[in-house]
Amino acid sequence: MATKEPPLFRDIDRVLIDREAIAARVRAMGAEVAADLQRAIDRHHDPADAQVVLIPILTGALVFTADLIRQMPMMLCLRVVAVSSYPGRSMASKGAKIAGELPQDLAGKHVVIVDDILDTGQTLAVVKRLIQEQGPASVRICVLLRKPESCRKERIDADYSGFDIPDEFVVGYGLDYDGFYRNYPQIAVLRAAATSALESRA
């Protein structure tokens, strides 16, 4: 008897970035970010005083962050922040809202904000501004995906970006539609039928 393909896979229209390409790029990004941070640490009067804090923006950055930090052979801390811009089935940003607390002890530290995607830039602009108000030693932005500059509503860019992608709604590797597909292991575009099926279940 033929087994039915699970919806997670059936709903995918096409893969934009496959798992091998993601893994290779994340490996290179981890090495690059770590090397830059190490150079910054070495400039401290006493490098042992320097602290590195990675701040993943929940929830989308979870998968990317988990892979990225394992490519960074150095002392670092993780502090998360939750921001929501695309609640539920929204495919257009509703404006970034911080949910809960931002870490409050970032003065003098080397901070790397990690996110899955830079789109309108509203999320990263809000988070970066609030972090900078605390007087960190440095702030870097690291994203896996970057949409074209024409999508931006804020003047902001990433210091590290894995892939430039077209202005399409993508899921997988942490990115969701209505909370689903984050566990799809590649960056992909959904079939239109999948989004309308989820709409009709609401």
Binding site for ligand PRP (CB under 6 A): 57-60, 83-86, 93, 96, 115-123, 176
**Interaxial angle between packed helices 62-69 and 19-42, expressed in degrees from 0 to 180 and rounded to the nearest 10:** 60
Residue in 27, 59, 21 with CA at minimum distance from that of residue 174: 59
Which residue's CB comes closest to ligand PRP? 60
How far apart are the C-alpha atoms of 159 and 19, rounded to whole Å?
23
89 phi and psi angles, rounded to 5 deg: -95, 15
In whole angstroms, how close is the CB of 62 to ligand PRP at the nearest point? 8
Query: Count of alpha carbons within 13 Å of 41, Cβ hemisphere only?
Result: 18
Respond yes or no: is residue 46 known to be catalytic: no
In whole angstroms, how close is the CB of 73 to ligand PRP at the nearest point? 27
Residue from 11, 119, 164, 176 carrying the catalytic annotation: 119
User: Cβ closer to ligand PRP: 30 or 60?
Assistant: 60
User: Cβ closer to ligand PRP: 73 or 183?
Assistant: 183
User: Cβ closer to ligand PRP: 63 or 106?
Assistant: 63
Residue in 197, 187, 191, 176 with CA at minimum distance from that of residue 25: 187
In whole angstroms, how close is the CB of 95 to ligand PRP at the nearest point? 8
Catalytic (active-site) positions: 119
